Amino acid sequence: GAVVSQHPSWVICKSGTSVKIECRSLDFQATTMFWYRQFPKQSLMLMATSNEGSKATYEQGVEKDKFLINHASLTLSTLTVTSAHPEDSSFYICSAPRGVDTQYFGPGTRLTVL
């Protein structure tokens, strides 16, 4: 079946540094990918829609200069958390739709900012 991978699975960084998270669709092409943020015991909050070859679409309240998204190819989208601070610590999940009714989720990335 279709698989979406994320790298890294866990990252610890110092406050003020930038962190890049990769999301790859392994056996299908995805012109669109979605990025979510999830706090413990809470739901997934959509941050942005990543579009191959064009700018990402950000949800209201999400700082686009803080969370840079680049959809470089039909199988890769990256989320860069710039100048990370402890409040950015969270679990980040990507998903990629295949067909009209199925989305495949990555395993998530746990970000801890010290």
Partner 1 sequence: AQTVTQSQPEMSVQEAETVTLSCTYDTSESDYYLFWYKQPPSRQMILVIRQEAYKQQNATENRFSVNFQKAAKSFSLKISDSQLGDAAMYFCAYQLTGANSKLTFGKGITLSVRP
Q: How far is the CB of 48 from partner 1 (least distance, A)?
A: 10
Q: 69 vs 40, 60, 73, 96, CA distance in Å? A: 23, 15, 12, 14
Query: Rounded distance, CA 23 to CA 106, Å?
Result: 7
**Binding residue (CB under 8 A) for partner 1 from 15, 17, 42, 73:** 42
Q: How far is the CB of 106 from partner 1 (least distance, A)?
A: 8
Site for partner 1 in 74-113 (CB under 8 A): 91, 93, 95, 97, 99-103, 105, 107-108
**Which token pair is 30?**
């995805």
Residues within the interface to partner 1 (CB under 8 A): 31-32, 34, 38, 41-44, 46, 49, 91, 93, 95, 97, 99-103, 105, 107-108
